[in-house]
Amino acid sequence: MRVVSDVMTMDTNNVFTTKQALRQALDKHRTAGYSIGFVPTMGALHAGHGSLIERAAHENDVVVVSVFVNPAQFGPGEDFETYPRSLASDVSLATSFGATYVFAPSVDEMYSTARGAGASVASTRIVPSAVADLWEGALRPGHFEGVVLVVTKLLNSVCPHRAYFGEKDYQQLAVVRALAADLDLPVEIVGCPIVREADGLALSSRNVYLSDSERKVAQLLSQSIRLAQGQLQERQAIAADELISVVSDFLRDNSQGLLSIGYVAFVDADTLVPVEQVVPTTRMLLSVTVGTTHLIDNASLVA
């Protein structure tokens, strides 16, 4: 990151709530030849987000972090209303991780062109690539349509050189990569590794929903990844059906009835299509509900 004296400190002037103010600030830097890194988030920042912001700060002169809980990617009955919101602490955390600006628009600002009765998001629709039909897309109809809509709008407001996404949301990363490639978006999409708690639980803003007993059960996600990695180390290749049964039994037998399985999947790491034979390059995808909290995890099976 180059030292840019006028963008190194974040005060209230460095938190933007309108696209216009954000664009004006960024245009100056772009004209001056500075590179812009962008980290889109829904806020309630934690060290997982922090790893993306730090990487963006390392690789760019100016870093924009957006904090926007996007209604378009939540389905009916999901946690849009209760999703944790903590803008003041997000701004200071983002700063400490290396952000130059925080963009925190309201829903009205973000979807200001929405028209008509009941319209709350844009009327234009973007159909994501077929990879969005699988897994989370099948469990949460419309979710990835909402993701590609907001990501496109945010990218068009920030116009970054690079945008950073976590492998924590592995399918989202694949959907966004396809979006950028298919629509010739002039941005480099950078995938970043999952940050985990000491006990293996992937950091997530939704972890705050978990009670103590649910928090213990949530450890089963990373434990089941290690279980699959261990089995594969012994045998080099295993039929996916067999490994799905082993992992599903492990989850059910140890969850004290607090966990329900969305899917346990072994997929091609690029296409996310299920494989028949699990090999070390296969990606394992997990989606569960613990209590009422939706949790996902994934890993390569190279132990």
* Residue 51 lies near ligand AMP (rule: CB under 6 A): yes
Q: Which residue is nearest to ligand AMP (CB)?
A: 166
* Residue 64 lies near ligand AMP (rule: CB under 6 A): no
* Residue 66 lies near ligand AMP (rule: CB under 6 A): no
| Beta carbon of residue 31, minimum distance to ligand AMP (angstroms, whole number) | 28
Number of residues that bind ligand AMP (CB under 6 A): 17
Give the whole-angstrom CA distance, residue 281 versus residue 299: 10
* Token code pair at residue 30: 């772009």
* Residue 187 lies near ligand AMP (rule: CB under 6 A): no
What residues form DSSP beta bridges with 103?
A: 16, 66
Most distant CA pair in the chain, distance: 59
| Interaction mask 204-243, ligand AMP, x per CB under 6 A | xx--------------------------------------
Give the whole-angstrom CA distance, residue 170 versus residue 99: 24
* Residue 87 lies near ligand AMP (rule: CB under 6 A): no
| Interaction mask 189-208, ligand AMP, x per CB under 6 A | ---x-xx------xxxx---
Q: How far apart are the first and last CA of the chain?
A: 33
Give the whole-angstrom CA distance, residue 79 versus residue 34: 38
49 labelled catalytic: yes
**Residue carrying structure tokens 């995808």:** 285
* Token code pair at residue 228: 């699959």
The 283-290 sheet, strands edge to edge = 259-267, 283-290, 293-300
Selected catalytic residue, list 29, 46, 49, 58: 49
| Beta carbon of residue 164, minimum distance to ligand AMP (angstroms, whole number) | 7
Query: Which one of 169, 240, 264, 287 is in contact with ligand AMP (CB under 6 A)?
Result: 169
Taking a C-beta distance cutoff of 8 angstroms, is the pair 86, 96 a contact? no
Query: Which one of 15, 36, 52, 121 is in contact with ligand AMP (CB under 6 A)?
Result: 52
Give the whole-angstrom CA distance, residue 99 versus residue 270: 30
| Beta carbon of residue 196, minimum distance to ligand AMP (angstroms, whole number) | 7
Q: Which residues bind ligand AMP (CB under 6 A)?
A: 41-42, 48-49, 51-52, 165-166, 168-169, 192, 194-195, 202-205
